[in-house]
Amino acid sequence: MNNENSDETLYPSKEDLVISMDESQLICPGNHIVIRVNETTLSPETREFLKTVRPIGIHFGKDAFLLDEPYTVWLKQYLLLRSDIMQATGRTRMIWALDHEGGRVIRTPPPLTKFPYPLNWQSKAGTVGSAIGQELKSLGINLNFGPCLDIFSNPKNAVIGPRSFGTSIDEVCQRSNHFIVSLESAGVIATAKHFPGHGDTIEDSHFELPRLELSDEQLLNRELIPFIENNTIPLKAIMLSHILFPKIDEQYPASLSNIVGKMLLRKKLGYTGVAITDDLDMKAISGCYSPEQIAHQLLTSQINFALFNHSLHHAASVASQLERLFKQDLQEHRSLHEQNMRFVNTLPENGVTELPSELLHQHQELALQIGEQFAVSIEEFTGA
Q: Is residue 381 part of a domain?
A: no
The vertex-271 CA angle with 269 and 272, nearest 5°, equals 155
For residue 258, what are the domain limits?
A: 7-370
Question: Residue 377: what pLDDT?
Answer: 57
Q: Is residue 379 part of a domain?
A: no
Question: Residue 284: what pLDDT?
Answer: 80
Task: Tell me the three state secondary structure of residue 36.
Answer: strand
Using omega within 30 degrees of 0 as the cis cutoff, is the peptide bond preceding 196 cis?
Answer: yes
Q: Is residue 384 part of a domain?
A: no
Question: Residue 8: what pLDDT?
Answer: 35
Contact 286, 324 (CB under 8 A): no
Nearest Cα neighbor of 334 from 299, 306, 307 is 299
Question: Residue 17: what pLDDT?
Answer: 35
Q: Is residue 2 part of a domain?
A: no
**Structural domain total, the chain:** 1
Angle of helix 125-138 relative to helix 169-185, nearest 10 degrees?
Answer: 40
Note if 16 is an active site residue.
no
Q: Is residue 380 part of a domain?
A: no
Name every residue whose Cβ is closer than 8 Å to that of residue 83 and which is 6 or more positions away in sequence: none
Question: Residue 11: what pLDDT?
Answer: 34
Question: Residue 13: what pLDDT?
Answer: 37
Q: Is residue 375 part of a domain?
A: no
Contact 273, 233 (CB under 8 A): no
Contact 315, 286 (CB under 8 A): no
Which among 206, 242, 333, 337 is annotated as catalytic?
206
Q: Is residue 1 part of a domain?
A: no
Note if 278 is an active site residue.
yes
Question: Per-residue confidence of the chain (384 residues) as pLDDT tens digits?
Answer: 644 443 333 333 333 333 345 555 667 899 999 999 999 999 999 999 999 999 999 999 999 999 999 999 999 999 999 999 999 999 999 999 999 999 989 999 999 999 999 999 999 999 999 999 999 999 999 999 999 999 987 777 667 888 999 999 999 999 999 999 999 999 999 999 989 986 555 444 445 568 888 888 888 988 899 998 755 568 999 999 999 999 999 999 999 999 999 999 999 999 999 999 999 998 889 888 999 999 999 999 999 999 999 999 999 999 999 999 998 887 778 899 999 999 999 999 999 999 999 999 999 999 999 998 876 654 443 554
Q: Is the pTM of this model over 0.85?
A: yes
pLDDT digits (tens, 9 = 90+) for 152-203: 877 776 678 889 999 999 999 999 999 999 999 999 999 999 899 865 554 4
Q: Is residue 376 part of a domain?
A: no
CATH number of the domain to which 292 belongs: 3.20.20.300
Which among 278, 279, 281, 333 is annotated as catalytic?
278
Question: Residue 19: what pLDDT?
Answer: 39
